[in-house]
Structure 1
Amino acid sequence: MEPRDDARLIEQTTRREELLRGRFLHVLRDTVRLPDGGSDTREFVVHPGAVMVVPLLDDGRLVLERQYRHPMGRVMIEFPAGKLDPGEDAWTCGRRELREETGYVAREWARAGVLHPVISYSTEFIEIWFARGLALQQRQLDAGEFLEVFSASLDELLAWCRDGLVTDAKTLSAALWLQNLRSGAWSLQWQASPDAVQPG
């Protein structure tokens, strides 16, 4: 895309109020000056960011999870993911979440990119990482965390996306990546994990 002048689109914050500071979420209300000189308010959630892991088994199947999501009131099919701890880098977060939620550790990792799942009302970003060379160890779920781990083929996942069984934004983004990797249109740069299990 060619460079564009964004000045005529950008809003300037003139006032900020804190509406909520919870255990997990931080909600703000900004008063903004619009590009035409008018004024409006923007309420949004400040989020620390997260990492999603797309774990690839040696037979080509994918490691997925089924987890109840209270705001949706339903069990969702997702790839493993979790929020960044303070000061934590994304790769460390991805390795931690994969081990805690699924019990797997990976020999190799590749960063695919970043997605912003709710750009109209949250600062949340999710880094997308792929993991392969998986070895199963012990899960370490957080207290109060309940989920089922299972495997599926890419074709099964794509069918679930098509049929509306998978509606989670990050998992849909991963499906796009997986389609383009399979076709050869996109590629990944793999790197060895610093905590990989070495063959004995």
Structure 2
Amino acid sequence: MTTTPIDDTTDSHLKEQLTSREELFKGKFLEARRDTIRLPDGHSATREYVVHPGAVVVIPMLDDGRVVLERQFRYPVGHVMVEFPAGKLDAGEDPFVCGQRELLEETGYTAREWAHAGAMHLAVAYSTEIIHIYFARGLTLGERKLDHGEFLDVFTATPDALSGWCRDGTVTDAKTLTCTLWLQNVLSGAWALDWQAAPSQGGAG
């Protein structure tokens, strides 16, 4: 065990090296691979994982202190989930542009100011997915532009109510749990954000 600061320049004793790759599945959205790798001790092993294009999640903050949330059925787990608005990146898309687009399409809101909070890896053991986290405030409600085949309810809640749902298991979505941690620390003043005025969204939709 070590308590020294994290320094990834000294991680060679932990890193694995690719020796060969097999494509198991390639769909419209995801692909699956099986890599053969060399372990730090020289032995071989395999790693099976999903390649994901990445995504963005938005924490929309209303002027009265509430946040905007969604309820959406998620087929793989068979449940309606409480989530912050989110969506996958198109090929080559800037995460901020994706965040603006998804917020408008799913909720109808546009935002006057945005702040990039950070990023999270959703499932490091078996997926490449990275989710970029944005805050949005100064919200104006317009018309939703849901994708074909997309069905979801939009509602609002106080941060305290959201925190309670995270505690009692109502919220189990990993990105929403992480965003709630961010929200708590931003509201308490523990974590600062660099707010920026939003450019025009004339091409969104």
2:23 equivalent to 1:33: no
Q: Out of 183, 187, 200, which is 2:188 matched to?
A: 183
Distance 1:130 1:179 in 2: 12
The sequence identity of aligned pairs, in percent, is 64
Shift of 1:2: 4.0
Shift of 1:107: 0.5
Deviation at 1:182? Answer: 1.8
Question: Once structures 1 and 2 are overlaid, which stretch shifts more, 140-149 or 4-13?
Answer: 4-13
C-alpha contact 2:100 2:201 (8 A) present in aligned 1: no
Corresponding residue for residue 81 of structure 1:
86
What secondary structure does 1:180 align onto?
A: helix
**1:109–1:192 CA contact under 8 A, matched in 2:** yes
- Equivalence map 1:46-195=2 (5 Å): 46-195=51-200
Residues 1:45 and 2:50 aligned together: yes
Distance in 1 between residues matched to 2:185 and 2:92, nearest whole Å = 32
**1: CA distance between counterparts of 2:133 and 2:147?**
22
**Matches of 1:11 and 1:196, distance apart in 2:** 43
What is the aligned length? 197
Give 1:6's aligned residue: 11
1:47-70 alpha-carbon deviations (Å, 9 max, x no partner): 111000000011010000000000
Q: Aligned equivalents of 2:118 and 2:31: distance in 1?
A: 25
TM-score by length of 2: 0.94
CA distance in 2, matches of 1:183, 1:194: 28
**CA RMSD in angstroms, aligned pairs only:** 1.1
Task: Mark the runs of 5 or more structure 1 residues left unpaired by the alignment.
Answer: none
- Aligned-partner residue type, residue 165 of structure 2: W
TM superposition shift of 1:196: 6.4
Unaligned runs of at least 5 residues, structure 2: none
Contact 1:68 1:74 (C-alpha < 8 Å) held by counterparts: yes
Tell me the SS of whatever aligns to 1:51: strand
TM-superposition CA deviations, 1:87-111 (whole Å, max 9, x none): 1101000000000000000010000
